[in-house]
Amino acid sequence: MLNILFIGDINGKIGREAVKKILPKLKREEKIDLVIANAENAAHGSGVTEESLKELQSAGIDYFTNGDHAFDRIKQAEICYEKFPIIRPANFPPDVPGQGYTLINTKQGDILLINLIGRVFMQPDLDCPFRKFQEILANFENQKLFAIIIDIHAEATSEKISFGHFADGRATAVLGTHTHIMTADEKITGKGMAYITDVGMVGAADECIGVSKEGIIKTYLTQIKYPHVIPESGKAIFGSVLLKIDEKTGKANSIKSIVKFINIK
């Protein structure tokens, strides 16, 4: 059995601190072989930096995915896509920095990790993730893959659920990110694919999806957009799912949500 931990959107310093405190012990307890995390909010809620990725790598994360904030820090993004095991949504235009998928070598065989972004209620409006998935698969039709794991970064639950049905029987796992709220619909399909609409986040637990609640409430009351402030201390939530992949078939045997809370000082 191959044990893979997928961590939801890591949001700011408080999220990085929570990962550093929780992940090493969790890896030992669950005998985790591979850790993947969505890092699009890692640098104070907006994109990635060399420092933020180094910090998360040192905590035990092996590969990173991204989302709509993939190019918020464009100069840093260009460096990070060259130096770190991080991918960005594959349905960005083809001439942007970085890659939309990567091969992860394991003792069981190659795992194809794909990052896609949804289009419903999302900015920017990019290429179709459904068609992009098919294009990527076509590149590997003559290559034996052990498993295929997809991070579908999208707002609408209907789009993520529809994509899960579309990929069922071809992917090993379809894992939704972006909304920062874990859904309670994790399952193994009849075709052996793990699915969850959203893995949740790692960040400030008692705020509005990781952002200080005071400013968000004022924005709703006044319709004036107040700055988003991410607390650096306080109660943090760690949202993730543990996948168990059959060594012989490459299909998912189980998907289990792992949610932990910790106080960050």
Active site residues: 69
Cα gap 56→38, rounded to integer Å: 11
Cβ(212)–Cβ(232) below 8 Å:
no
Q: What are phi and psi of 248, to 5 degrees?
A: -90, -40
Cβ(172)–Cβ(250) below 8 Å:
yes
Residue showing tokens 């694919």: 193
CB hemisphere CA count around 224 (13 angstroms): 5
Tokens of 147: 């498993």
Closest-CA residue to 161 (of 136, 181, 137, 183): 183
Helix (H) or strand (E) holding 35: strand 34-38
Tokens of 165: 């049905």
Helix (H) or strand (E) holding 30: helix 12-30
Residue showing tokens 């699009």: 40
Cβ(147)–Cβ(112) below 8 Å:
yes
Q: Give the number of other CB atoms < 10 A from CB of residue 218.
A: 13
Tokens of 86: 């991080």
Tokens of 122: 């999302």
